[in-house]
Amino acid sequence: MQDLTHYLGGAATAGTSGRFADVYNPATGEVQSRTPLASAEEVDRAVKIAAEAQPAWAAVNPQRRARVMMEFVRLLNRDMDKLAEALSREHGKTLPDAAGDVQRGLEVVEFCIGAPHLLKGEFTDGAGPGIDMYSLRQPLGVCAGITPFNFPAMIPMWMFAPAIACGNAFILKPSERDPSVPLMLAALMEEAGLPKGILQVVNGDKEAVDAILDHEGISSVGFVGSTPIAQYIYSRGCAAGKRVQCFGGAKNHMIVMPDADLDQAADALVGAGYGAAGERCMAISVAVPVGEETADRLIEKLVPRIERLKVGPYTGGAEVDYGPVVTAAAKENILRMVEGGVEAGAELVVDGRGFSLQGYEDGFFVGPHLFDRVTPDMEIYRKEIFGPVLTTVRAGSYEEALKLAMDHEYGNGTAIFTRDGDAARDFASRVNVGMVGINVPIPVPLAYHTFGGWKKSSFGDLNQHGPDSFRFYTKTKTVTARWPSGIKDGGEFNFKPMD
């Protein structure tokens, strides 16, 4: 069994804490490697290396930093298959899903190639007599990111690419459940020309997280994960004087109006609800059909589509729709919540509790589930399940459907399916959710727009990628300059130094 490493100062570095976490193959349930869990001393070593390397990198002009990003994009495309395979092996998602994970991160790197433009400041000529005023966007120093298991390529790149393009050094603490791809990304960045020490990977658990949050040498922290942990990291990081952005849980509603194309809506719900085994913060987990007739027809269309889903290992080929969940504990929690939904009185229309895959009986596979007649007081509605479980809450009117999305404590993403432009426009304007889809089930913005939820889905003032990322990873300095005139009335130059 292989022991993985950290990546410090440009080299794979063995852990010294003596503590390790098992990394599983989710399809078989077998331990395939171990990842070291860093001590506070190891985090401190990474910070010192980064702090030493960062000033020289900040002094590199933005165009040359952008060229590193350009080469990194080329290397990502070159190694796409290798990265996807490594990601699938540890996470369990299908190869197309894994390649999409890398691709969405790559697109943010492409956006960061525009760093020379995005880092331009403002200038006012003649703000006063002989006075000019201008602003500079300067890097923070050493930044850190704590990223989740469900997107081990995309979310790290969403963080470290803009941070590094801005001239910072970056310490990445990826999930200990699937750490191989982040290590590969760090090596590729240095192959692209990034100086050693600017991007480092420190594997770890809560001890490493707390060391990052408390370290005086780290200026900012980004996080994606569950809401309770997001609140903890935001509070502790801010108390330590850091700039912090944290993104938490979600419960994404898709409103289906009576005039919607129900075949299109059913296809969207299946893809958005069950893709990647539902382990996505933007997964649709609540369908809200408006009207009993709409609900009955939607359920009728959903059931055969869900029953046709193929669940299997990532090695199963293109016919596999989704793979296992990431750990045995995740599987256990999903099935516990399903049982709770049944006990609460929800109607389990598609029951995946008995699912077992021949030859992979010890894998972490969960069959697809569909609930109908769920009510807002039920746990399966209130809490994020993070698995292949779609719940249906029937609404009597558009206003009732809108209220469901607005009253929920999470506000990450939402969608409406309708042919009515007025209803769609009203929904987009009024709903208190950060990302809205109109006949689009998963409204994740492209890299040049910003990604972020509202309410208990997000903590901090700025969002991920897009222009907000360059604002988050820089601080603004404003300069007011006055050059006293040395020209006499007759035109003769007579320079006098300022007092």
Residues involved in catalysis: 281
DSSP designation for 212? H
Residue 92: name the closest of 29, 40, 25, 144 by CA: 25
CA–CA distance, 499 with 484 (Å, rounded to integer): 10
Residue 366: name the closest of 358, 354, 383, 374 by CA: 354
CA–CA distance, 349 with 370 (Å, rounded to integer): 5
| Cα-to-chain-centroid distance, residue 261 | 30
DSSP designation for 161? H
CA–CA distance, 204 with 40 (Å, rounded to integer): 10
Query: Whose structure tokens read 């939904």?
Result: 341
List, as one string, the DSSP characters of 426-467.
HHHHH---SEEEES-SS-PPPTTS-B--EETTEESSS-BSSH
Question: For the CA atoms of 459, 460, 466, 467, what is the dihedral angle to 10 degrees?
Answer: 170
Report CA Rg, the chain. Answer: 25
Does an H or E element contain 125, and which? strand 123-128
212 in Cβ contact with 146 (< 8 Å): yes
Query: Whose structure tokens read 């002009």?
Result: 61
CA–CA distance, 37 with 388 (Å, rounded to integer): 30
